[in-house]
Chain A
Amino acid sequence: MLTKAQNFRAGLRDGLPICFGYFAVSFAFGIQAAGIGLSIPEAAVISAANLTSAGQFAALGIIAAGASYLELAFTQLVINLRYFLMSCALSQRLAPEMRFAHWFGIAYGMTDEIFAVSCSRPAPLSPYYSYGLIAAAVPGWVLGTTLGAAAGNILPSVLTNALGIALYGMFIAIVVPPAKENRVVAGVAVLSMIVSAVFTFAPYLKTISSGFRIILVTLLVAGGAAWLFPIPDKPVKEDDHAA
């Protein structure tokens, strides 16, 4: 059993790659935010309050157009609905006796990346581990936004390009080890990539937004795998690295 401080430090350490990756992505967001006429504090507050990449990029277009709050709310709902699935999955990894106040902290940090890293931890998930991840990731996200909005051209593009792959590298490092041990997980991973590619390039299907595409692929592949290969009914003990 790790202490709160140990869990927090482990979260900080595992959150470092998220911090780098976020810096690169939010730097690009900051540039675009300045481009539609937002001030540096406005851009920074958007990032600190939302902590969501695709949703924030989409919001810029809506704010720039002066569209209605309803349209903004609906767009965010569609793009960010995947967090709903992630929270459902994560709810099963929390200790039942955890204080409910932690829900509010964990929910704030429910991003693709923090969710991903959380799933690579043995259950039950310590909220202090989540806070460590958040404490590492959020500064990268907000600082990148601020610098991008303040001075979009201080980083050479070759450097932001290289940082752009960091988050994906992390995703791969999370999926591969359990996929090596469990053939169904490996099948789920490979099939999800194939289906995702089909949805990205095929006529008609490619018009689906990226947020919705991820939801559809997840429902199809994880749903199919659950139907064909249900996990054992009574787990002997909590799985070490799986969701």
Chain B
Amino acid sequence: MARIVPLAEAVQIVHDGDTVALEGFTHLIPHAAGHEVIRQERRDLTLVRMTPDVIYDQLIGMGCARKLVFSWGGNPGVGSLHRLRDAVENDWPAPLELEEHSHAGMAAAYAAGASNLPFGLVRGYEGTDLADRTSVAWITSPFDGQQVAAVPAIRPDVGIVHAQQADEAGNVQLWGISGIQKEVVLASRRSIVTVEEVVKRLEPRPNAVFLPAWAVTAVAPAPGGAHPSYAHGYYDRDNAFYVRWDEISRDRDRFQEWMRQNVLEREPAVV
């Protein structure tokens, strides 16, 4: 049953060496939770995310990650992730092991994890160099002999997402682009949902994603916690910040100084 706790307490369920997935497909990216992981100096994490962007650039640049499992790593519409590249190309601040997939492969792997299956199935990977570099196997359909690719289920120790609202009992509702959030929470052994606000009663919204309190480990209020990503109905995507991140992150010293001022020396919002 989800407990509603301050962010700093919620993030204590992340342990050194854990496999941790912070998800949010452009929308509702859990930046505040990622910053708290950085402040608590978690180390040797296997970080999982379909689209590692700014928050993973920060986690990697601050030395939290040992391995990255992903399908597309870039600053959307802007360019490279300089901290990710520095880790892969120059081992700075530490070497980073990569396991990469396609989006469809990761989506199937998360869905398999949520469904308690050993693997997900996709048509794909065949004839690519990716197949030799990642965890994939070929399966023949017992019904008609078709060959499909099997990707191992993703079962994170901790799944972290951001949502618009929770009620006082810890039930969560999110809406707009819902990405892979439901799957990551249900695939994970433990989960944290940060929310824009805790309301007395959730107003049911058609087609919203609802996560009952009994399916979530911890709920933490984090207003503005998706910024520079956005929260539909609360605030827009800060596109200018994504553009600015390109220069901030290019240089190691400038990056560290920015992280010191904007993350390390800041407390999470207490609500």
Q: Do they bind each other?
A: no
